[in-house]
Amino acid sequence: MRMRKKRHLDERLINSQPYLIDIDKTLDPREDVQITAYVDLVEVFGNDKPIILEIGCGKGKFAVDFAKANPDYNIIGVEREANVVVDACKKAMDEGIDNLKFMVCGAQYLARYIKPNTVHAIYLNFSCPFPKNTYAVHRLTHPRFLKIYRQLLVEGAKIYQKTDNMKLFEFSIESFSASDYLIENVTLDLHNSKYVEGNIMTEYETRFVKMNKPIYRLEASPK
Ligand SMILES: C[S@@+](CC[C@H](N)C(=O)[O-])C[C@H]1O[C@@H](n2cnc3c(N)ncnc32)[C@H](O)[C@@H]1O
């Protein structure tokens, strides 16, 4: 059964190739090893439009809708799980979108593949909360990730975070603050705030809004 599942995934990954950014996966897996294999994003997209990342893009609803609404940007959906990325690629392919690609990559390795000072915004949508404190290091707003994002972002660029999880939101605020980021435009109820205008819903958000859960939202930029 497991083999069939794997073969099915392999086939779907092959079909997804036009939407997948090829990265060198043979690099040393130790995160503290400083090593780079930068992707030529101008070659990947065929143009030099500014780059925006969604990290932890899941099945890609936000990335696809965001790319459609922002044709002047190139969007990269970053996701560590190949089995959800194939769904995201299928959505992009069905819609024929040309300013969106996906990268199967853990956020901890992004600085190996994306050149410093080249990213114009980062979206963190409903990141896994990792409720146990012993796993806090895996939260995508842990200082170890904020250090990487700071390196990637162009001057003045922002991180946009949305979550339904108050504990993760509190953790993130402390983490942004401790990592010398400026926090702005905070709401504890996105869908009853002025920030809802132009908001693009994610898969998880659609589910939480149906359950009447408030959505927390902030913007943060490196000082
Ligand atoms: C809760 S889901 C949210 C998916 C989507 N953003 C949404 O709002 O519908 C979080 C996603 O982040 C991905 N993720 C978690 N840690 C990651 C990491 N270190 N690097 C890349 N993706 C990660 C998970 O695999 C998962 O697909």
pLDDT in tens, the chain (223 residues): 556 677 799 999 999 999 999 999 999 999 889 899 999 999 999 999 999 999 999 999 999 999 999 999 999 999 999 999 999 999 999 999 999 999 999 999 999 999 999 999 999 999 999 999 999 999 999 999 999 999 999 999 999 999 999 999 999 999 999 999 999 999 999 999 999 999 999 999 999 999 999 999 999 999 9
Is domain 38-222 given the CATH code 3.40.50.150 in the classification? yes
Phi, psi angle pair for 110, to nearest 5°: -60, -35
CA 103 to ligand 1 center in whole angstroms: 12
CA 78 to ligand 1 center in whole angstroms: 8
| pTM score of the predicted model | 0.96
In angstroms, rounded to a whole number, what is the distance separating the alpha carbons of residues 159 and 56? Answer: 13
In angstroms, rounded to a whole number, what is the distance separating the alpha carbons of residues 116 and 111? Answer: 7
CA 126 to ligand 1 center in whole angstroms: 7
pLDDT reported for residue 12: 93
H/E stretch holding 184 reads strand 181-187
Ligand 1 and 204: CB distance under 6 A: yes
Query: For 98-115, what is each residue's pLDDT tens digit?
Result: 999 999 999 999 999 999
- The token pair at 175 is 């983490």
In angstroms, rounded to a whole number, what is the distance separating the alpha carbons of residues 154 and 74? Answer: 15
Strand 51-55 and strand 153-163: pairing?
unpaired
Among residues 205, 221, 132, 131, the alpha carbon closest in space to that of 162 is found at: 205
User: Which ligand 1 atom is nearest residue 162's CA?
Assistant: 8
Query: For 171-193, what is each residue's pLDDT tens digit?
Result: 999 999 999 999 999 999 999 99
Name the closest-CA residue to atom 3, ligand 1: 126
Strands across the sheet with 153-163, in order? Answer: 100-104, 74-79, 51-55, 119-125, 153-163, 216-222, 181-187
54 contact partners, CB below 8 Å, separation of at least 6: 62, 63, 66, 75, 76, 77, 78, 122, 123, 124, 125
